[in-house]
Amino acid sequence: MYSFETQIRVRYGETDQMGYLYYGNYAQYYEVGRVETMRSLGTSYKQMEDAGILMPVIELKSNYYKPAFYDDLLIVKTIIPHLPGIRVVFQYEIFNENKDLLNKGETTLVFIDKSRQKPVAPPPYITEALKTYFK
């Protein structure tokens, strides 16, 4: 298992009429978690896209436990639970500053060759960066 934590502060425009973080914004927070997790492994989405590899989301799950509010500093913990193949699963746990669990989510993405529009194995540098965490 590999995990990485990112902090995000809830902006006013991300809240709904009740003052809660709007539920649709959690998917964007997951994306921030994924992007920063990839960066923590020494790569980036841009690097992969420049090399002709895309990673579309093919499944999203989200469970809400407690609301987040305007100006809350949130911790997005992103977990890669197993070594990726053609598909990669990311799990998310979102906490507030009091360490209360607010949300859990999961996305499944697939590695796609941009020119052929076909699934491919992950780039070797991703597998190599993760190998040590899955012994």
Q: Chain-wide mean pLDDT for the chain?
A: 96
Residue 75 to residues 17, 24, 34, 135, Cα–Cα distance (Å): 23, 17, 13, 27
Q: Where are the domains of the chain?
A: 2-131
Which pLDDT belongs to residue 135?
Answer: 74
Instruction: Give the active site residue among 16, 50, 71, 100.
Output: 16
Residues 6+ apart with CB under 8 A from 32: 6, 8, 76
Which pLDDT belongs to residue 121?
Answer: 96
Are 100 and 66 in contact, with CB atoms under 8 Å apart? yes
State the average pLDDT over residues 17-23.
94
Write the pLDDT tens digit of every residue in 57-112.
999 999 999 999 999 999 999 999 999 999 999 999 999 999 999 999 999 999 99
Is 21 a residue whose pLDDT tops 80?
yes
Is 52 a residue whose pLDDT tops 80?
yes
Going by C-alpha positions, the residue among 68, 77, 78 that lies closest to residue 9 is 68
Q: What is d(CA 134, CA 6) in angstroms, rounded to the nearest whole number?
A: 22
Q: How confident is the model at residue 39 (pLDDT cuts 50, 70, 90)?
A: very high
71 classed as catalytic: no
Q: Where are the alpha helices (DSSP H) in the chain?
A: 25-40, 45-50, 124-131
State the average pLDDT over residues 101-128.
96
Are 55 and 31 in contact, with CB atoms under 8 Å apart? no
What is the topology classification, in CATH, of domain 2-131?
A: Thiol Ester Dehydrase; Chain A (3.10.129)
The torsion region of residue 128 among left (phi > 0), alpha (psi -120 to 50) and beta comes to alpha
Strand partners, 7: 75
